[in-house]
Amino acid sequence: VRERVGIFDVSHLGKISVKGVGAKDFVNTMVTNDLNRIAPGSAQYNLFCNDAGGVIDDLIVYEFAADDIFIIPNASNCAQVAADLSASAPSGIEVKNIHQQYAVLAVQGPDSNKVMQNLGLNLDLEYMSFTKTLLPNFEALGEIIICRTGYSGEFGYELLPTWESAESLWKILLSEISKLDGRVCGLGARDTLRTEMGYPLHGHELSLEISPVEASANWAVVYSKADFRGKRALESEKAAGPKRSLRALKCIDRGIPRAGMSVLDLEGKVIGEVTSGTFSPTLKIGIALALLNPMAKLDDQVQIDIRGRLSQAQIVKAPFVESHVR
């Protein structure tokens, strides 16, 4: 994925439809970012919080039209997000959990555009935009939603065929990817890629107990919006300052940090905990994301307790590797 192209089956991701007059405005009251900043054909990263500012899920909102909103949440949180939206929706707005209507096939990597071109798709999509189209010579597959999105940090696409067409599209994509020396990739590779980019994973860097303020995700929170769920709690936390902050750690010693491992300062005092950690195949070194005492600063040296051995690491700026999404 970093050098050529890979394909992922991420059909486990949730899919929610919100339709009706005022659908966009309604969803905008339920998420932290501002949907007024996007137009039909565009998507936006969002956080879906509770009243206390805890993150129920992070998700992508796609605007088909002002009265037709499509949401992709994480698989394990889809039912909760759909239920919350349904409970809050005003009369005339219909919320549906449509998980089994679409599959999600992600084609990621610098050669992903070649894959699309070889299939007769000359797409001119900006990052975080999408289109609906038929695949030339394979029109029987029906309309496919093609999004310039991904979770790898590389140029790529996420394709949403109907559930019934997914297997056929997978075989077509795999045939083209194989010609470019690409590979089928699993969720383990996906997790390594997103960790190298410093992207959060719900349940690790974001949760009901880890707020956007702590997770350094304020960039996805528009406090100037009239209102959204969790706004007051997040404003208060932001004003007071977080009790911990998400930081990126790059190992100096050998060793692979993992979630739950303690992070100590050079005096041996515990100052936080690893939320995600892995070996970076790109950098050939251990890397981690960690929630630390907010006094810990960029370039500080720290120690990670890796199974009883203190491994030296340095606080660095994420991403660990350069982003090529655009």
The two tokens of residue 280 are 């970076």
- The residue-averaged pLDDT of 290-301 equals 98
> 1-241 has which fold?
Gyrase A; domain 2 (3.30.1360)
Q: In this predicted structure, what is the pLDDT of residue 91?
A: 97
Asked if 272 and 263 touch (Cβ cutoff 8 Å), the reply is yes
Confidence of residue 265 (pLDDT cuts 50, 70, 90): very high
- Cβ pair 223, 231 in contact under 8 A: yes
- Preceding amide of 319 cis, omega within 30: yes
Give the DSSP letter of residue 42. Answer: B
| Tens-place pLDDT, residues 96-149 | 999 999 999 999 999 999 999 999 999 999 999 999 999 999 999 999 999 999
Tokens representing residue 219 in the block: 């960039």
**pLDDT for position 127:** 98
pLDDT in the model for residue 294: 97
Four-residue CA torsion sign, 205, 206, 211, 217:
positive
Query: CA separation (Å) from 192 to 126, 153, 158?
Result: 25, 11, 18
**pLDDT (mean) for 243-271:** 98
pLDDT at 154: 99
- pLDDT mean across residues, the chain: 98
Tell me the pairing of strands 183-184 and 270-280: unpaired
CB 78 within 8 A of CB 97: yes
Binned at pLDDT 50, 70 and 90, residue 165 comes out as: very high
- The pLDDT value recorded for residue 319 is 98
Burial of 54 (0-12, 13-18, 19+ CB in 10 A): middle
Q: What residues contact 96, with CB distance under 8 A and at least 6 apart?
A: 16, 17, 19, 82
**pLDDT value at position 256?**
98
**Confidence class of residue 201 from pLDDT cuts 50, 70 and 90?**
very high
Q: What is the pLDDT of residue 35?
A: 99
E runs forming strands in 15-174:
16-19, 43-49, 55-65, 68-72, 94-97, 105-108, 130-133, 144-147, 156-160
Mind listing the pLDDT tens digit for each residue in 33-60?
Answer: 999 999 999 999 999 999 999 999 999 9
Q: What average pLDDT score do residues 145-170 get? A: 98
Other CB atoms within a 10 A radius of the CB of residue 122 amount to: 9
Residue 32: what pLDDT? 99
Confidence of residue 278 (pLDDT cuts 50, 70, 90): very high
* Residue of 144, 147, 143, 123 whose CA lies nearest to 71: 147
Q: Which pLDDT band holds residue 5 (cuts at 50, 70, 90)? A: very high
Degrees, nearest 5: CA angle 79-84-86: 95
Q: What is the pTM of this model?
A: 0.96
Q: How far is CA 60 from CA 30, 33, 74, 90, 278, in A?
A: 13, 11, 9, 22, 25
In contact, 218 and 239? CB cutoff 8 Å = no
Residues 6+ apart with CB under 8 A from 22: 66, 67, 90, 92, 93
Token pair of 79, please? 């039912």
Going by the DSSP 8-state scheme, the letter that residue 170 receives in this structure is: H
Domain boundaries, the chain: 1-241
- CA dist 326 and 323 (Å) reads 8
Confidence of residue 266 (pLDDT cuts 50, 70, 90): very high
Q: Which residues contact 182 (CB under 8 A, 6 or more apart)?
A: 4, 5, 6, 7, 109, 111, 115
Q: Mean pLDDT over residues 154-178, rounded?
A: 98
